[in-house]
Amino acid sequence: MAMTIYDISQKAGVSTATVSRVINGSGNVSPVTRQKVTAIIEEYGYIPNAYARGMGLRSSKTVGLLCADSSDLYTARAVYLLQQELQANGYESLLCCTGFNQDVRQDYLHLILSKKVDSIILAGSHFIATSELDNAYIREAADQIPIMLLNASYDHPHVYSALCDDYAAMHEAASSMIRSGIPDILYLYNSKSYSGLRKLNGFQKALDENNIPPSMRHILYYDGTPDSIESISDFVTRAAENGHTFHGIIGSDDALAAGGIKYAQQKGLRIPEEISVIGYNNSILTTCCTPALTSVDNCLEVLTHQLVHTLLHVLAGEEMPQKVVFSGKLIRRDTTLF
């Protein structure tokens, strides 16, 4: 029973062109005619077909939103903020969770591309591979529409990015902990993405600068699902049993740090007197655990806002900076002495 513009034009006794003009408010319609057409549209609850629209037009007013896992605390917030910003500016969001498989990503990118979205936002640095060959799909996509990177960067025409300087932020976090008198820190991470490695590098740099001997360096890759804090604390416990000794824990993610807190509690260690903990992302977990977790805020709101801002201007044909970098900030709570 879907009405078409033709049905409306007939019932209103005008041409389809006039109906179109009324719908799109493109002037040159007499008030009387406008009134008449509007009434018919209302009466029949007519809604224009976006597909027919998108075909002739350049823009479909839709943006593809790709991420690995939208249920992840941090990503969920990013997706929400992006979607809100886009919506506020008249754009819809086509959400697509690709998981962490490289091939799958490529397929979904094609699928999204076929929907004729005006742009694609890649949320998270998992999308950028270290091998140039694996990034070909991004270059191809950028050939057709602007590609936006949240918390990643890639140097290529029509690829724009907004990111937090995770390297510096993690470097600051580690330096602070070392300065507070804790040289033996356990570093927990669960992602080897661009951003994940940058954080790791920042951590290591801080150790280097402070001449921390290799024997005091404990860097552990946690390869499990991030939704069980307990399995993380078990992981840390096993690490401690294996001879690692540490008086500080830094997680590349709040969940990892929360696992560290659990470990300390089970072991009866007082926080922060006997062991300090720092997380990353400043998520809701920071205030949920006890004591409240010191964490790095990587200003997600600012990033998403900037990214959409850039996108809108790019779509408007303006020249925009391809890369915008913001600084993270250590939010001090109760798991650290400083």
Partner DNA sequence: TTGTACGCGTTATCAT
Partner DNA sequence: ATGATAACGCGTACAA
Residues 198-217 that bind DNA (CB under 7 A): none
Decide: is 10 part of the binding site for DNA (CB under 7 A): no
Q: Which does 110 bind (CB under 5 to 8 A by kind): a second copy, DNA, none?
A: a second copy
Binds a second copy (CB under 8 A): choice among 208, 230, 274, 301 = 230
Q: Which does 23 bind (CB under 5 to 8 A by kind): DNA, a second copy, none?
A: DNA
Nearer to DNA, 14 or 206 (CB): 14
Give the pairing type, strands 62-67 and 119-123.
parallel
Count of positions on this chain that bind a second copy (CB under 8 A): 59
Instruction: Evaluate whether 250 touches 186 at the Cβ level (below 8 Å).
Output: yes
Decide: is 26 part of the binding site for DNA (CB under 7 A): yes
Point out which span in 33-41, 161-169, 214-222, 285-293 binds a second copy (CB under 8 A).
285-293
Q: How far is the CB of 39 from DNA (least distance, A)?
A: 14
Q: How far is the CB of 314 from a second copy (least distance, A)?
A: 18
Binds a second copy (CB under 8 A): choice among 16, 20, 33, 48 = 48
Instruction: Evaluate whether 200 touches 248 at the Cβ level (below 8 Å).
Output: no
Binds a second copy (CB under 8 A): choice among 146, 262, 272, 296 = 262
Q: Which does 59 bind (CB under 5 to 8 A by kind): a second copy, DNA, none?
A: none
Decide: is 47 part of the binding site for a second copy (CB under 8 A): yes
Q: How far is the CB of 33 from DNA (least distance, A)?
A: 4
Could you tell me which residues are beta bridge partners of residue 122? 66, 149
Decide: is 32 part of the binding site for DNA (CB under 7 A): yes
Binds a second copy (CB under 8 A): choice among 110, 238, 267, 270 = 110
Decide: is 316 part of the binding site for a second copy (CB under 8 A): no
Q: Which does 288 bind (CB under 5 to 8 A by kind): a second copy, DNA, none?
A: a second copy
Residues 200-219 that bind a second copy (CB under 8 A): none
Decide: is 21 part of the binding site for DNA (CB under 7 A): yes
Count of positions on this chain that bind DNA (CB under 7 A): 30
